[in-house]
Homo-oligomer: A and B are copies of this chain.
């Protein structure tokens, strides 16, 4: 079976001597070449789950199976840019010394709307621009699997729509697998092939969408129905 499989994952943290479980028993199948969206309340453990999948942290229990070795890129919740590098250098940070096509990077920066700021340092950027640089850094890496932690939270309506489209295009053309954390139900409905709803340390519910993301209409009967269902879940 392709993709990534989480089996009975547990993770606990200790704060002030008091240990509490964040993830209690996560079973989740993340398909390859598809967009999986993770929904959940603030502080429910979405970032933690992403970090486990991205191998930045070890689970306390359970297993994670990777079908193939992925070239993974991570968009963190905060921009995490290197303050001593310009936008350009931050963008190619993931590429290390390996050769890259200058034109491609330039096109990428244009896509995220940072053209003209190639030589600016992070502290000279607005919050949204920093986040976009971080997205550009992850995309420049040309990953086969992309982990994104609320990447569009700091962006305005239109920039957001534009990048969502870009993401869908990328996913289709490169067959990239994406695990996407968001707070916005609309965004989840627009992007996800699979929507997982995280609550109380478990995956409470999964929704599968079979329409192609490219042609989704939020006002279609199907999606309105689904949205209602999700909202009902949240009210629990």
Report which A residues bind B (CB closer than 8 A). 13, 15-16, 40-43, 46-47, 77-78, 113, 117, 119-120, 124-129, 132, 149-150, 153-160, 183-185, 234
Task: Please state if A234 and B42 are interface contacts (CB–CB under 8 Å).
Answer: no
Please indicate the chain B residues that have their CB under 8 angstroms from the CB of A159 in the complex: 41-42
Q: A77-B154, A234-B157 are in contact. Are A43 and B128 (CB under 8 A)?
A: yes
Q: Contacting A156 at CB < 8 Å: which of B13, B40, B120, B132?
A: B40
**10 A-B interface contacts by CB (under 8 A):** A13-B124, A42-B113, A42-B126, A42-B128, A42-B132, A42-B156, A46-B126, A77-B126, A78-B127, A157-B184
Q: A42-B129, A129-B43 are in contact. Are A124 and B15 (CB under 8 A)?
A: yes
Residue on B nearest A183 in the bound complex, by CB = B156
* Complex CA distance for A178 and B124, rounded to whole angstroms: 26
Residue on B nearest A14 in the bound complex, by CB = B124
* Complex CA distance for A129 and B43, rounded to whole angstroms: 6
Please indicate the chain B residues that have their CB under 8 angstroms from the CB of A234 in the complex: 157-158
Residue on B nearest A185 in the bound complex, by CB = B157
Residue on B nearest A119 in the bound complex, by CB = B16
* Complex CA distance for A234 and B150, rounded to whole angstroms: 23
Residue on B nearest A16 in the bound complex, by CB = B119
Task: Please state if A43 and B157 are interface contacts (CB–CB under 8 Å).
Answer: no
